[in-house]
Homo-oligomer: A and B are copies of this chain.
């Protein structure tokens, strides 16, 4: 699960990020209006935490932008300006929840969880692909109706491949989606290789009709076989 935190106060930001990362979310941040806009357009998130009192632009404009993009993530507004107007404006613009400052971290987690759960229900149906069934809600995968136990990374990778079926997935894109954007140019891709290897082994062991094909020098592609 990938979360974007838009917040300008460094302390607060740090706090939120640490606590979310402790819960195993992949967290990215934006401290300014522009940075936020860029991230929103570049990557896909499952949930966005938005402080609407940013220094260089109104956070509500970001909401507007998100709505126009027709994106599918959940949005939780965080604000110290606890006016009813702000709240109404935010929810009208499609925010999923509103969290007044100050708040307790546990409260934040609960809201995030609830938004993610709600979102999941909306799009919740089995994804079928060959003899494979994926239940995004339970994060479970079935091959011929027997359960395939995947680790977190393996599952994330598989789901990313599935949502990019027949499309080419660059190693950097895969890396950014599954590991967050801390990936460096200079980094090796050993951890990707390792995970791909394990995923392939498990898929093969259950005779899934899927193949992760390597494209030399570029990345991978998921094929039905």
Contacts and interface: CB of A to CB of B under 8 A. Distances in A.
A181 interface: no
A19 to B, nearest CB: 9
Given A152-B216, A215-B152, A170 B24 contact: yes
B24 A218 contact: yes
Contact of A105 (B23, B41, B117): B41
Contacts of A104: 37-38, 41-42
Nearest to A39: B106
B41 A107 contact: yes
Given A166-B137, A223-B138, A216 B106 contact: no
Contacts of A117: 167
A223 B137 CA distance: 11
A172 interface: yes
Interface string A130-147: 000000011000000000
A206 interface: no
Contact of A172 (B22, B138, B170, B173): B22
Interface string A94-114: 000000000011110000010
A43 B109 CA distance: 11
Given A105-B41, A106-B42, A107-B41, A170 B23 contact: yes
A151 interface: yes
A41 B106 CA distance: 5
A167 B23 CA distance: 12
A152 B51 CA distance: 44
Given A43-B106, A138-B223, 5 more contacts: A24-B219, A41-B105, A137-B166, A152-B215, A152-B216
Interface of A: 22-24, 37-38, 41-43, 104-107, 113, 117, 137-138, 151-152, 166-168, 170, 172-173, 215-216, 218-219, 223
